[in-house]
């Protein structure tokens, strides 16, 4: 994939019946992806429950402006939209239909749960994923992110940055480290971990999960003191060492107590 | 007599008047099987349409007028009805294209495009107890009338009659889309409010095509 670790070229719009939900999801996603353009379009024009076409339009315009200002105007740059219920989806679809042709070609609605989807999409965008990669990350957030055990699925439904390098072979390089930070591999450290993993082309496995799959990592539920096995083929030794160093550093949380 | 911008403007203004007049009845239909706001939402939407029409250039084309109606409805009608009606008028605008004079065939195409927009957006089919139950028979009747060589006014009149019959025919149905679908059998016996407002709007399309001065001369 091009631009791993580079400036985000995809932004995300959250459309919800509730202004609080949309703003909260954006807040959560921003913690994972501080550089990714994110915008909330929740509630009606007067802020009550419902969906506002004007707010959706404004959110799309602001995210497109931020993406374009980042200099990412290639066809893979654009916007991924996540919606909650009923009319939020209808209004988002209609707003997309009214965009000019250039932007229309660069925006998709992800069929994904809003919270999990937004978090996964934000991390994918933060590590430089294109529109399709970000959408796929959101849609795989239902919990079926491709892993080594599902190598076949990964080939038809690629994960954010999946390069399946001989998933069936035994790993050539393995390191085991211990989680020392207070809260374990919770959302922010997990996002840092996935972002770092994505800067390497090699596939690294973490206790059987793809190191580039945020929700895969989070699903491990690793707490302080947990042993983390990092493994890769020989071309992934550098990545394993870097990820081991990050875990051993405590993710900068040593003083958090 | 081909219809142009004047007809589209009259259709929109007449729709606003008709929706406002029926606001309470639409609300009552919606209270029975929905959340009760369809009358208010449609009233607010078409009031906004009338205001938006006032800002149009005097020489606005049918397509431009239909697009203004579409975008105004999308942004001012709450709930699902906004994007559904908005998409209907948007697709109608696309179907009209650059034509300024709409003959019977163009009118039938306009109605068919509006129906297709609603079907695409709402993913509902005939018999699901939705707006589609008014628009689908209206589009079919309009196409048949245009095919048979009927006048513009007649095409609209048969479409309106078919929409009204289609709306009435939603009463015995169980809803398969929208909020009413949660009610199961309890939706039986209630007319779908979206189908009813659709019949109103197609009715005003027909009324707007009849020049009062020519009404007696209209050749049926």
The Cα A137–Cα A120 span in angstroms is 6
8 Å CB contact of B87 and A94: yes
Chain A nearest C-alpha distance from B47 (Å): 17
| Alpha carbons A27 and A14: distance in angstroms, whole number | 11
Tell me which chain A residues have a C-beta less than 8 angstroms from the C-beta of B48: none
Phi/psi of residue B183, each to 5°?
-85, -15
Instruction: Specify the pTM.
Output: 0.77
Chain B residue at shortest CA distance from A43: B78
- Structural contact between residues B95 and B110, judged by C-beta atoms closer than 8 angstroms: yes
Listed by number, the residues of chain B in 117-146 with a beta carbon closer than 8 Å to a beta carbon of chain A are 121-122
Domain membership flag for residue B214? no
Residue intervals of chain A classified under CATH 3.30.1340.10 are 164-256
Residue A86: phi, psi to the nearest 5?
35, -105
Is B78 part of any domain?
A: yes
Nearest CB partner across the interface for B80, out of A44, A86, A97: A86
CATH code where residue B193 lies: 1.25.40.340
| Residue B123 covered by a domain | yes
Do β-strands A227-232 and A173-178 pair in parallel, antiparallel, or remain unpaired?
Answer: antiparallel
Annotated catalytic residue: which of A17, A135, A203, A212?
Answer: A17
- Please give, rounded to a whole number of angstroms, the shortest distance from the CA of B80 to a CA of chain A: 5
**Fold of the CATH domain A10-142:** Rossmann fold (3.40.50)
Assess B24–A contact: CB distance below 8 Å, yes or no. no
The rounded distance, in Å, linking the Cα atoms of A109 and A104 is 11
Secondary structure (H, E, C), A31-58: HHCCCCCEEEEEECCCCCCCECHHHHHH
Residues of A in contact with B121 (CB under 8 A): 90, 93-94
List every span in chain A annotated with CATH 3.40.50.510: 10-142
CA distance A22 to A159: 25
Tens-digit pLDDT string for chain B (220 aa): 799 999 999 999 999 999 999 999 999 999 999 888 899 999 999 999 999 999 999 999 999 999 999 999 998 987 889 999 999 999 999 999 999 999 999 999 999 999 999 999 999 999 999 999 999 999 999 999 999 999 999 999 999 999 999 999 999 999 998 888 888 889 999 999 999 999 999 999 999 998 655 555 444 4
CA distance B57 to B130: 35
Q: What confidence tens digit (pLDDT) does each residue in A68-111 have?
A: 887 766 778 999 999 998 789 999 999 999 999 999 999 999 99
| Reported confidence tier of residue A134, pLDDT bands at 50, 70, 90 | very high
User: What's the gap between Cα A235 and its chain centre?
Assistant: 25
> In this complex, do A97 and B82 lie within 8 Å of one another by their Cβ atoms?
no
Q: Give dist(CA B110, CA B112) in Å, integer.
A: 5
Whether residue B193 lies within 8 A of chain A, CB to CB, comes out as: no
Residue B147 structural domain: 5-208
Does residue B38 form part of some domain? yes
> What is the CATH class of A164-256?
alpha beta
In a domain, B218, yes or no: no
The answer to whether residue B213 sits within a structural domain is no
Rg (CA), chain A: 19
Please spell the DSSP secondary structure of A81-112, one letter per residue.
Answer: EEE-SHHHHHHHHHHHHTS-HHHHTTEEE--S
Q: Which residue is closest to B179 within chain A, CA to CA?
A: A86
Chain A nearest CA to B92, separation (Å): 14
ipTM tops the 0.95 cut: no
Q: What is the nearest CA distance from A106 to chain B, expressed in angstroms?
A: 20
- Is B219 a member of any domain? no
Q: Would you call A17 a catalytic residue per the annotation?
A: yes
d(CA B201, CA B181): 24
Count of domains observed in chain B: 1
Which residues fall within 8 angstroms of residue B41, CB to CB, at 6 or more apart? Answer: B77, B78, B79, B81, B82
Contacts of A54 in chain B (CB under 8 A): 75
d(CA B115, CA B121): 10
**B3: phi then psi, degrees, rounded to nearest 5:** -105, 145
pLDDT tens for residues A154-210?
333 344 444 444 455 688 899 999 999 887 887 778 888 988 998 899 999 999 889
Digit-coded pLDDT (tens) for A204-242: 999 988 998 887 888 788 888 899 999 999 999 999 999
Altogether, the residues listed in chain A come to a count of 257
- Locate the chain A residue with the closest alpha carbon to B84: A90
């Amino acid at each position: 994939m091009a631009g791993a670790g580079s400036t985000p070229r995809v932004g995300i719009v959250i459309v919800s019946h509730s202004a609080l939900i949309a703003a909260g999801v954006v807040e959560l996603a921003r913690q994972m992806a501080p550089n990714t353009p994110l915008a909330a379009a929740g509630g009606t024009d007067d802020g009550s429950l419902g969906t506002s076409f004007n707010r959706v339009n404004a959110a799309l315009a602001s995210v497109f402006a931020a993406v374009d200002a980042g200099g990412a105007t290639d066809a893979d740059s654009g916007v991924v939209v996540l919606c909650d219920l009923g009319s939020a989806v209808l209004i988002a679809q209609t707003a997309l239909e009214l965009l000019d042709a250039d932007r229309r070609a660069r925006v998709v609605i992800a069929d994904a749960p809003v919270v999990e989807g937004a978090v996964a999409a934000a991390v994918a965008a933060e590590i430089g994923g294109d529109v399709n990669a970000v959408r796929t990350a959101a849609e795989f957030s239902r919990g079926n992110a491709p892993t080594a055990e599902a190598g076949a699925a990964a080939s038809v439904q690629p994960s954010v940055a999946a390069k399946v390098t001989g998933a069936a072979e035994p790993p050539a390089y393995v390191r085991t480290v211990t989680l020392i930070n207070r809260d374990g591999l919770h959302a922010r450290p997990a996002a840092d971990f996935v972002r770092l993993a994505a800067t390497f082309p090699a596939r690294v496995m973490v206790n059987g999960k793809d190191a580039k799959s945020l929700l895969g990592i989070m699903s491990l539920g690793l707490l302080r003191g947990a042993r983390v096995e990092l493994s890769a083929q020989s071309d992934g030794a550098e990545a394993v060492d870097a990820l081991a160093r990050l875990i051993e550093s405590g993710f900068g949380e040593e003083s958090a107590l | 007599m081909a219809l142009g911008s004047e007809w589209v403007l009259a259709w929109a203004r007449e729709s606003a008047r008709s929706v406002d007049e029926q606001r309470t009845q639409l609300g009552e239909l919606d209270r029975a099987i929905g959340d009760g706001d369809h009358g208010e939402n449609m009233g607010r939407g078409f009031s906004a349409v009338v205001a938006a029409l006032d800002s149009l250039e005097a020489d606005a084309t049918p397509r431009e007028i239909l697009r203004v109606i579409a975008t105004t409805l999308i942004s001012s009608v709450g709930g699902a009805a906004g994007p559904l009606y908005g998409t209907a008028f948007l697709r109608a605008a696309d179907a009209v294209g650059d034509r300024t004079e709409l003959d019977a065939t163009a009118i039938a195409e306009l109605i068919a495009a509006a129906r297709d927009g609603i079907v695409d957006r709402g993913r509902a089919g005939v018999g699901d107890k939705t707006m589609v139950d008014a628009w689908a028979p209206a589009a079919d009747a309009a196409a048949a009338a245009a095919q048979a060589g009927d006048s513009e006014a007649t095409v609209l009149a048969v479409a309106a009659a078919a929409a009204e019959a289609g709306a009435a025919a939603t009463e015995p149905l169980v809803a398969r889309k929208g909020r009413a679908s949660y009610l199961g059998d309890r939706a039986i016996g209630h007319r779908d409010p979206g189908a009813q407002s659709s019949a109103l709007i197609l009715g005003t399309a027909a009324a707007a095509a009849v020049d009062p001065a020519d009404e007696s001369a209209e050749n049926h």
